[in-house]
Structure 1
Amino acid sequence: MKQFKGFMHGVNLGGWFSQCNHTEERYDTFIKEEDFKTIADWGLDHIRLPIDYELVENADGQKLEKGYERIRKAAEWCKTNNLNMILDLHKTCGFSFDIGYQESGFFDDEKLQERFYKLWESLAESFKDIFAGSNNEICFELLNEVTDQAYCKKWNAIAKTCIERIRKIAPTTKILVGSYWNNSLASVKDLDEPYDENIVYNFHCYEPLLFTHQGAPWVGQKMNPDFRFPLKSKFSDYIKMTSEKVGQIGTAFGAFSPDATVDVSYFETIFAEAVKVAEDRNVLLYCGEYGAIEKATPEDTLEWYKLISTVFNNHGIGRAAWSYRQMDFGLSDSRLDAVRSELIKYL
């Protein structure tokens, strides 16, 4: 399978320009220049930079130049530290993966779609050459985590139109496209064929969800905050507790003995279909988010990263861990101090 050169080992800067209160204080203090040096010192080659539309647009869709300047500053810090960048539109007017933001209507409203296209035309014009004269590269990620399967056909059509309009401005910039069910592995097959050689299929992986999201109050119906679940629990326990806490069961557990536990073969099994699709279509495959919640033990977190990293490496899949700081998954947070020097080997 083709390798996403320059984007093999990365980290998300979640919570800086996205999923935040969008204040100047937040923008100025949450991530600083020295954090880019830390990321480079970890041996990583890129960042994924999530942005909400509020950073670069006002309520009426007018350009906020100050937000564009902040992205330019982040790009300068990337250049200084020899890091590449994925510019990820994490929220657009009318849609967010998080229903708590109360964005709606995007997939049925042509005006909201046109606003989306125009935003991407503006971003492309502003940043297509941001790394000109250096060895660094920027990629564009159209939209984070389309949710419902019912949006699939509409999203494929919207993505095609958006790519066509970006291509008039940035003909060779790599463009990332994810599918429904929050960029799930199982939905990669339903993306349209790649429109050109610079399209990247993007998925997210937080499997097994019962482990990576243990105690996450936003998951399922009965995921109480004090719920804990060891990584190496038996699959029979995964099945039982996933049904109870999450409300749905993944397809992979049934392929193994009830007494089996999570290992490399588990990840090989859940990756297999997406890998084959990418190989058959000769398209780059990338994991834009993966990680384990702060409520997992540091030891289990390290082991999980080791296992999933092995499969990324087996197939040459680039990735960006979620997330650098806080956001319930922070890799630089103090809880991981004892294991971080080992853990970063597997990012």
Structure 2
Amino acid sequence: MKEFKGFMHGVNLGGWFSQCNHTDERYDNFIKEEDFATVKSWDLDHIRLPIDYELVETADGQKIEKGYERIRKAAQWCAANNLNMILDLHKTCGYSFDLGYKESGFFDDVKLQERFYKLWESLAENFKDVFAGSNNEICFELLNEVTDQSYCKKWNAIAHTCIERIRKIAPTTKILVGSYWNNSLASVKDLDAPYDENIVYNFHCYEPLVFTHQGAPWVGKNMNPDFRFPLKSKYVDYTKMTSEKVGQIGTAFSAFAADATVDVNYFETIFAEAVKVAEERNVLLYCGEYGVIEKATPEDTLEWYRLISTVFNNHGIGRAAWSFRQMDFGLSDDRLNGIRPELIKYL
């Protein structure tokens, strides 16, 4: 499988320009220049930079130049630390993966879709050459985590049109496209064939969800905040607790003995189809998010990263961990101080 050179080991800067209250105080203080040096000190090669449309657009779609300047500043800090960047549109007007933001209508409203295309044309025009004169590279990620499977056909068509319009401005910039079910591995196969050789299939992996999101109140209907679930629980317990807490049967549990526990073979199994699809279509494959909630023990967190990293490395899959600071998954947070020197080896 092709290797996504320059984007093999990364981290998300979630919560800075996205999933936040969009104030200058947040923009100025949540992530700072020295954090880019920390990312580099972890021996990483890139950042994924999620942005919401509110950073760069007013409510009626007018350009906010100060937001563009903030992205340029982030690119300067990347260049100073020899880091590449993925510019991820985490929320567009009319759509967010998080229903709490009450964005709706995007997949059925041609006006909202046109606004999306124009936003990407503007982003492409402003940032296609943002690293000119350096050895660094920027990639564009069209939209974070399409949710419903019912959007699949519409999303493929929207993505195709958006890529066509970006290509008139940035003909060779790599463009990341994810599928439905929040960029799940199981949905990679339903992405359209790559538009050209510079398309990247993007997936996210938080499996097994009942472990990585233990105690997360936004998951399922019965996930209480004090719920805890050790990584090395038996598959029979994974099946039971996933059904009870998440509301669905977890991926691939039935492929293993009921009394066995999660190991490298689990991740090889859930990755297999997406890897095969990428190889057959000769397209780059990338994991834009993966991680473990802060409620898991540091020891379990370290072991999960070790297991999934082994499979990433086995297949040459680039990735960016979620997330650098806070956001319920913070890799730089104090809770991981004791294991971080070991943990960063698996990013």
TM range (shorter): over 0.9
Whole-angstrom CA distance in 1 between matches of 2:331 and 2:63: 33
Whole-angstrom CA distance in 1 between matches of 2:131 and 2:73: 12
Asked whether 1:340 is paired with 2:340, we answer yes
1:60-209, aligned counterparts within 5 Å?
Answer: 60-209=60-209
User: Residue 208 of structure 2 contacts residue 251 of structure 2 at CA under 8 Å; is this kept in 1?
Assistant: no
Whole-angstrom CA distance in 1 between matches of 2:251 and 2:5: 31
Letter in 2 for 1:139: C
Which residue does 1:312 correspond to in 2?
A: 312
Q: CA RMSD in A?
A: 0.3
User: Residue 238 of structure 2 contacts residue 250 of structure 2 at CA under 8 Å; is this kept in 1?
Assistant: no
User: Residue 2 of structure 2 contacts residue 282 of structure 2 at CA under 8 Å; is this kept in 1?
Assistant: yes
Whole-angstrom CA distance in 2 between matches of 1:260 and 1:86: 38
Task: For residues 289-335 of structure 1, give each alpha carbon's deviation from its aligned partner in whole angstroms, at most 9, with x where no partner exists.
Answer: 00000000000000000000000000000000000000000000000
Which residue does 2:28 correspond to in 1?
A: 28
Query: Which sections of structure 1, spanning at least 5 residues, go unmatched?
Result: none
Kindly tell me the number of residue pairs found equivalent between the two proteins.
347
Whole-angstrom CA distance in 2 between matches of 1:240 and 1:206: 18
Moved over 6 A (4+): none
Which residue does 1:53 correspond to in 2?
A: 53
Query: Displacement, 1:251?
Result: 3.4
Whole-angstrom CA distance in 2 between matches of 1:64 and 1:245: 42
Letter in 1 for 2:232: K
Which residue does 1:221 correspond to in 2?
A: 221
Task: For residues 230-249 of structure 1, give each alpha carbon's deviation from its aligned partner in whole angstroms, at most 9, with x where no partner exists.
Answer: 00000000001111100101
SS in 2 for 1:75: helix
Whole-angstrom CA distance in 2 between matches of 1:46 and 1:242: 33
Task: For residues 170-197 of structure 1, give each alpha carbon's deviation from its aligned partner in whole angstroms, at most 9, with x where no partner exists.
Answer: 0000000000000000000000000000
Which residue does 1:241 correspond to in 2?
A: 241
- TM-score with structure 2 length normalisation? 1.00
SS in 1 for 2:91: strand
Whole-angstrom CA distance in 2 between matches of 1:292 and 1:175: 27
Matched-pair identity in %? 88
Query: Displacement, 1:250?
Result: 2.3
1:270-309, aligned counterparts within 5 Å?
Answer: 270-309=270-309
User: Residue 287 of structure 2 contacts residue 317 of structure 2 at CA under 8 Å; is this kept in 1?
Assistant: yes
Task: For residues 53-81 of structure 1, give each alpha carbon's deviation from its aligned partner in whole angstroms, at most 9, with x where no partner exists.
Answer: 00000000000000000000000000000
- TM-score with structure 1 length normalisation? 1.00
